[in-house]
Amino acid sequence: MTTLLTGGTSQIGLALAQRLKAAGKGVVFGTRTPSKVPSGYNHVLLDWADPSTFENPFSSTESQIDTVYILAPPVTLNALEITKPFIDLAIEKGVKRFVLLSATIIEKGGLMAGEIHEYLDSKGVDYFVLRPTWFIGMCPLPNTQVPNQSLSDDVDTENLFTAQAYTIRGQGEIIMAVPKGRIPFVSMEDIAQAAFEYITQGSSTKDKLIIGPEVLTYDEVAQILTEVIGKPITHKAISVVEQQARYTSFGMSPEYAKFLVSEEAKSDSDTEAAVVAQENKFVGKFSVRDVLEKNKVFWSS
């Protein structure tokens, strides 16, 4: 049996594919950018912005897809409207399990992935929701200045450095609307590991909060970056209004920017740090320093 990875060429998708292949499990990438698919993997054209591609994963006689990993369209608040036809089709075609990437900040029935979470629950299918806190990773490619994302991009959203790479590399600043909040930043690899464990072992719960092994402020992250790349990096706290304007300048809709900054600002009250005390959680093994050391060239180039 085979797992279809929507948004498969995202960082989590790639890491999950590697784990599944190493375990002898079938994998098919569903992506609008086949050139990004690593050699040795099957792929089909799948574009959230083009519903005519939704049949493609189920047209092949080579793979019987029984599990679907859903990376919802980025930077949009109407994720269910876009993904619902695909989910319905997948169920019709015999898909038995779904794995949904959501977030700690999004409850079942909430915006974006929260609506998809609720819809999967209403369909009576086997599903598992990954609810990571803010990501550590490195999203933009080295020549990318700002994250202008479309509905079709294979992008892991809520990445710590999605909107930070430009100012970190160019100005030596992390700019957030979080003056002092503590966050258990999590790596893409650890999120992929949580997904892999569900697909191969199952779960007694329908979702898990996914966190990293340590809780840090952005000031502390800036200090770690300074030590890793060998040049001063500081954390600059700005207002919610300033951050919304900054994100809209990156191409986000005003509505999405408002939502994202609102959730970002909430973490200044240690809402994310409080997740550490929850029982229903998966604790990753990779620290912020681990990830930054691994990607040292990216940050210092």
% pLDDT > 90, the chain = 69
Residue pLDDT, tens place only, 48-97: 999 999 999 999 767 789 999 999 987 778 899 999 999 999 999 999 99
Give me the mean pLDDT over the 160-178 stretch.
81
Nearby residues of 270 by Cβ (< 8 Å), 6 or more positions away: 181, 182
SS3 call for 267: helix
**Token pair listed for 159:** 């990445």
Residue 73 to residue 48: CA distance in whole angstroms? 7
User: If you average pLDDT over residues 145-149, what whole number do you get?
Assistant: 40
pTM metric for this prediction = 0.90
- pLDDT score at 137: 58
In whole angstroms, what is the distance from residue 268 CA to residue 249 CA? 23
Q: How confident is the model at residue 148 (pLDDT cuts 50, 70, 90)?
A: very low
